[in-house]
A and B are shown apart, each in its own frame.
Chain A
Amino acid sequence: MTPIRAAVLATAVAGAVIATYLTYTHYAHVAPICTSGGCEKVQHSRYAELAGIPVAVLGLIAYCALAATAFRRGVTAATAGVVIALGGAGFSAYLLWAQLGPIGAICQWCVANDVVIAIAALLSLVRLATEPS
């Protein structure tokens, strides 16, 4: 595995860990460990679900898919990785806006996810640019 694919895989794993924890707190109906003070508020907001599916679950699926693209070499997998990571980063930016605006609270786990998905998107772009044909 090339270094850039390994880096994409590492970010996918990091994101999956965060998403798994938030998925657990959602279904266990427990408050996430939180130092920012806003996790509970964000978790209970209407933005925590998308069409009835917890956003954390969607994130977990996305990170698993991103990890799968990292395991495969080739331009097709790299392209899929960009679509997933960059699309996820765009949606995460929307959720960050929701936290700063309508919800009025910041969830540290969500911010951590924003950082991870932004890095993943950047690495995925670099990978697509450098992936051998």
Chain B
Amino acid sequence: MQRNRLLLIAAAVGGAAVLAVVLILVASGGSSSHEAAPTTTAAAAQADTTPAAGSGDVFAGVPQKGDTLGKASAPATLTVFEDPQCPYCRQWSVDTLPTVVRDFVRTGKVRLVYRGIEIIGPNSEPALRAIFAAGAQNKLWNVASALYDVQGEENSGWITDDVIKNAAHAAGADGSAILAASPSKKVTAALVAAGKDAVAAQVQGTPTFVLQRAPAVPQQLPVTSLDPQTFSTTLSAALQ
């Protein structure tokens, strides 16, 4: 093989190495559009586990009871299947939920029902238990939202008791009571029930949205995008 060709191969391999390194650096150091979270790594989660105050403003004045957000008289129920470790669920909660609450829940068109399921991994369970336990204080949606504010990398162990306490505090809930209630049979039953509901609704990923308008059979919302405008359009169409 000619020397020039060998040099060219070496240069091409070098160029490929540079390309791969740049891609890896961007992937490992940068954040994706829906991961503009304050924390994305376990180390960062340890350093900053306090959700921003004011996340409860989204839910202020909205009736909340147990796992349900909105007026009991709402003609439609939107059941949301989420995993607190799921980045797309965080995207939905941070970007779109405020719009849904403002345009559909506050107006009495829809009530939301939370169904937390473990799909990312076992580290989701302590967060799910805390969220369901917060239901006893009628702060389930606030705590779920506050945990998304500090979401860390999947299965990195970011969901600690301190994280839960801080999230509960930011959500205006009693963190100690939540931690005490987390292992309870009632919370376990809620977890099991959510899992059964997910199976019944043929949930294959999170977030999944199931819309029910009695007496119609519940149907999965055909969501093509989680951005507020598209989601609202889809939900409006389904409510027609």
Chain A interfacial positions (CB closer than 8 Å to B): 27-31, 40-41, 43-52, 75, 79, 82-91, 93-95, 102-104, 121, 125, 128-129, 133
CB nearest to A121 among chain B residues? B16
Q: Name A28's contact: one of B121, B153, B224 (CB within 8 Å).
A: B224
Kindly state the separation between the CA atoms of A28 and B222 in the bound complex, as whole angstroms.
9
Q: Is the CB of B20 within 8 A of A51?
A: no
Q: Tell me, rounded to whole Å, the shortest Cβ–Cβ distance linking B74 to chain A.
A: 25
Pick the most buried of B16, B32, B121: most chain A CB atoms within 10 A of its CB: B16
Chain B interfacial positions (CB closer than 8 Å to A): 1, 5, 8-9, 11-13, 15-21, 23-24, 26-28, 30-35, 40, 86-88, 119-121, 153-156, 204-206, 223-226
The residues of A that contact B19 with a CB separation of less than 8 Å are 83-84, 87, 90-91
Q: Is the CB of B1 within 8 A of A102?
A: no
Q: Is the CB of A44 within 8 A of B120?
A: yes
The residues of B that contact A50 with a CB separation of less than 8 Å are 23, 26-27, 30, 32
Kindly state the separation between the CA atoms of A44 and B124 in the bound complex, as whole angstroms.
14
CB nearest to A75 among chain B residues? B8
Q: Name B20's contact: one of A48, A94, A102, A104 (CB within 8 Å).
A: A94
The residues of B that contact A43 with a CB separation of less than 8 Å are 205
Q: Tell me, rounded to whole Å, the shortest Cβ–Cβ distance linking B109 to chain A.
A: 23
The residues of A that contact B156 with a CB separation of less than 8 Å are 102
The residues of A that contact B224 with a CB separation of less than 8 Å are 27-29
